[in-house]
Structure 1
């Protein structure tokens, strides 16, 4: 048995010379690699934003989808103003339009409903859509509020830069 085992090992050593098998990564090396990967994951949002800004600055073009427009229906003007102001104060939106009362028909719990609503038109960074959606759901009086997001495909570069200035990468939440 020792002879066969020795033969297999000889075959292995012929295929993999000692120099190549002796270069293994040490524990500190693995820790460095894992730490580097974790750091890259943690910095991903910042790196993504910087790469988009660099791309726009170098090419003079817009990166499609970096900004979004969100539609939010509200039951009345006061709720619309309260939600809009709150989004602005938390720097989750660069701009909120409160559009006039509209007639709305929708299905709710198996029946057609007629109502009037006020529409908010919100401009923000696409990276903020999820946190903005969660926040609005937490303060909106509807059980299932309408929150529809549409990525911006193109537009004025100066306007898009203004949105970036007005809406930081992470929302400001006053204490």
Structure 2
């Protein structure tokens, strides 16, 4: 049985970056160009086509977006923790203009505008379990994207030394 051991000869920094990229979404212009579950070979192929330098700003932008979404989830969670008898948080519970309130207003508008084919009742806000699940998920996402960005930056730094050693 033949096996492919080519990955063993790839620099460890590049392997670490590729492994980290198999765990996150990479977005460009609102379109996912890599997604969790991509194989390591798919990621290497992507990196060969795009290059580390091209993907680094995409991951940095992804980290900024995920961090902003995490802050929204933290705000919702803190409101529910502070108001321990509440089962839901709605837009009116939060200060006007805050990202968390804007987020809840957007969800409420989407639910109201949705043609589900049945009456789903009025939107009651985000319930405690959904907020806490969302907070845990966003924390995981920010951690994974931050690791991917760090690994890509390490691989970029290492690649500049590879080039200078080759010259």
TM-score of the pair, normalised by structure 1: 0.21
Greater share of strand residues, 1 or 2? 1
Structure number with greater CO (CA < 8 Å, separation at least 6) is: 2
